Structures are given as structure tokens and as C-alpha cells.
Chain A
């Protein structure tokens, strides 16, 4: 099975409170170029989240998307959902992506459309995030 793994990202060396699982993900811009982003992998987030300035980078008119509010423990922020071509480890598909109107919203890789294409493993002891492409017939869940 095709597989790719990413090191957890470190904020400042030695500061263990700021270690996050991250992955390099590409989104297709309206000019046909794939543009790379490094996103926090958040298995608790339904949607992948980017920012308003990321929408501009991809050539999207953010307000043409479906309006929603993103809720988290720190409050809520308005966002617009677009369907964007995405590429992870050479696998391409289209994902629902919420573009926050705030540029301060952290960029997240959520489950929608992403986790059904991969088995995502958080190898905490080795600080790696592993994406294994579905279908994973050799893995039997009990």
C-alpha cells in the first residue's frame, strides 16, 4: 500500500508543549499550479480549514462558497466552504475545505474527504503521522 509519513512539527526545540502532528498537502490553484501547505493533522476536526488569504492564493472568491460558522473551544469564526482539488502523497481527490475569514485561524487537515482516502496513524512515541492509502485490505479490524 502506498504510504507516506511526516515528522511531527516542532515549534521551538526543547518546548514539548508545542509539538504538533503535521502533513504537507497541496491544493490546486485556479491557474493549474499545485500549491503546498503544511497543515496540522486534527482527527477531531470535521473539516479541513484554511484562511482567507489562502483562498486568495488559490484564486478563489471566498464568498462564493457556502457560509458556515466554525465552532471550537475558543469561540467561533465565520468561514466559507469550497470544494478544492487536493493532493497528498500523489493521491488526488476533491475535498471540502472551509476558508476562515480570519487569517489567524490555524490551518488544519480535518477528516472530511481526507480520512476516507487514507488510514491515518499517529505514532506518538516516534512523533510521526503516517498516511496509508485506502483500500487497506490487509488490515482487519476487530
Chain B
């Protein structure tokens, strides 16, 4: 079973509709795009490699996501 992490409310609110960075099975940072989210994650966990970090989209706050 692969765990898909929950998004902390603070990041879900701040980066709704944007990007989250996932490390150690948890959402650790958010950003307007992949690079910003990963850069913030690497600042928190400098020993990580860029390719250790997963990125995911954060759903919007109001309503259901459709493309």
C-alpha cells in the first residue's frame, strides 16, 4: 500500500490550485510551480536530492476540480 499524503490545511489554503512538494511521506512545502515548491522543500531538508521529492497538485479551496 502506498500512502498518499494529506495536505496540511495551511498549505492547502495558501497554495490552493498550485503545487505541493512531498518528502518523507508528507507534504512539506508548497509553491506556485514545481521549482518553487521543490526549492522550499530543499531549504527545509537540505540533505534531500531533488529527485527524492514528489510533486502534486493541490485542489482548489472552493469546489471540485475539473479540467
Interface residues of A (CB under 8 A from B): 4-13, 17-18, 20, 22-24, 29, 33-40, 42, 45, 49, 51-54, 56-57, 70, 72-74, 103-108, 128
Q: Smallest Cβ distance from A77 to chain B, in angstroms?
A: 8
B35–A72 CB distance below 8 A: no
Docked complex Cα distance between A44 and B65 (Å): 13
Partner of A6, one of B4, B7, B58, B66: B4
Interface residues of B (CB under 8 A from A): 1-7, 9, 12, 17-19, 22, 32-35, 38, 49-51, 53-59, 63-67
Given the known inter-chain contacts A9-B4, A29-B51, please indicate yes or no for A56 contacting B34, CB distance below 8 A.
Answer: yes
- B64 contact set on A, CB distance < 8 A: 17-18
Q: Smallest Cβ distance from B8 to chain A, in angstroms?
A: 9
Partner of B12, one of A7, A12, A57: A12
- B18 contact set on A, CB distance < 8 A: 103-104
B51–A38 CB distance below 8 A: no
Q: Smallest Cβ distance from B33 to chain A, in angstroms?
A: 4
* Additional 4 contacts, C-beta under 8 A, given A6-B4, A37-B56, A107-B55: A9-B5, A24-B4, A33-B51, A39-B56
- A70 contact set on B, CB distance < 8 A: 67
A36–B66 CB distance below 8 A: no
A51–B34 CB distance below 8 A: yes
Given the known inter-chain contacts A6-B4, A9-B4, A72-B67, please indicate yes or no for A103 contacting B19, CB distance below 8 A.
Answer: yes
- B34 contact set on A, CB distance < 8 A: 51, 53-54, 56-57, 103
Given the known inter-chain contacts A5-B2, A20-B59, please indicate yes or no for A11 contacting B12, CB distance below 8 A.
Answer: yes
- B58's closest neighbor in chain A, by CB? A11
Between A and B, 27 residue pairs with Cβ closer than 8 Å are: A6-B2, A7-B2, A9-B6, A10-B6, A11-B58, A11-B59, A18-B59, A18-B64, A24-B4, A24-B54, A29-B51, A35-B51, A36-B22, A37-B55, A37-B56, A38-B4, A38-B22, A38-B55, A49-B67, A53-B33, A57-B38, A73-B66, A74-B66, A74-B67, A103-B33, A104-B17, A107-B55
